[in-house]
Amino acid sequence: WTANGTGISTEKDTSTWKNRSAPKGNNVCIFGNEKSMTQTFTVDASSAGPCWVSFLYASRPSYPNTHIYVAIDGQVLGHVDCGSSTVFRHALMEAELAVGTHTLVISNSNAHIAGNTKGNAAIDAVSITPKRDLIFNGSFEEYTGTITGNSGMWQAFGEDFYCPGWTAGGTGISTETDTTVWKDRSAPDGTNVCIFGANKSMTQTFTVDAASAGPCLVSLMYAVRKGYSGAVFHVNMDGVEVGSVE
């Protein structure tokens, strides 16, 4: 790291860090007002492409709120608002990296955000990892059987029609030219979407190897079926709900 006004605080620091535990290891990095940390790193062919920039962040106790933002090669990826919380939270941002050398900057300078209050913050567990999609057939383009319902535009999953990778309960495939079920709307990824009936579900079992273990992002696109009332999607992992969208 190349530092500008930042420093290391141990979890036993009773003055700067107020004797709080570090979320990973024993140390955290403390940011003063409008300071930054920079690291240059190299991406090889096996790591090039979409990646996740991940870190833990919190406000420094007894200091004003501040924002922390992240840039690679001068392009700001995003920012997080520390608020008044001294509890560490997880930030995850997406970047596209080519083979070669890149520069990561993490900063709390208020030059990037109008009205940002000068404050102190702490970060820990910074990482950049290649994005690996662990879900198979997430855009529902692959299916076994024939779409026969609604003139070949809609088909519920059943014994003779299924979607590889998925176990379905009351769901089905609709093409973007389906004028009855999906109302002739475009699919956001590919040409098919998955339609849910009331109180239905989709399940997929997947394997995580050592290269993909750690923080991950569960992502999906969703919309209300035209002509129907809204619903809430619940996402569960190993029996634990990780979030919901309405």
Name the β-bridge partners of 100: 43
Is the CB of residue 116 less than 8 Å from the CB of residue 68? Answer: no
Residues of the chain scoring pLDDT < 50: 112-116
Separation CA 13–CA 26 (nearest Å): 10
* Residue 178: how many other CB atoms lie within 10 Å: 24
Q: Is the pTM of this model over 0.75?
A: no
Residues in the chain: 246
pLDDT of residue 176: 63
pLDDT of residue 81: 83
pLDDT of residue 119: 67
Separation CA 127–CA 106 (nearest Å): 12
pLDDT of residue 99: 96
- Report the amino acid identity of residue 148: T
pLDDT of residue 89: 83
**What backbone phi and psi angles, to 5 degrees, belong to 89?**
-120, 165
pLDDT of residue 114: 45
95 torsion bin: left (phi>0), alpha (psi -120 to 50), beta (else): beta
Close Cβ partners of 205 (under 8 Å, ≥ 6 residues apart): none
Is the CB of residue 26 less than 8 Å from the CB of residue 85? Answer: no
Write out the DSSP string of 88-153: -EEEEEEEEE-SEEEEEEEE--TTSSTTPPP--EEEEEEEEEE-----SSTT----BS---HHHHT
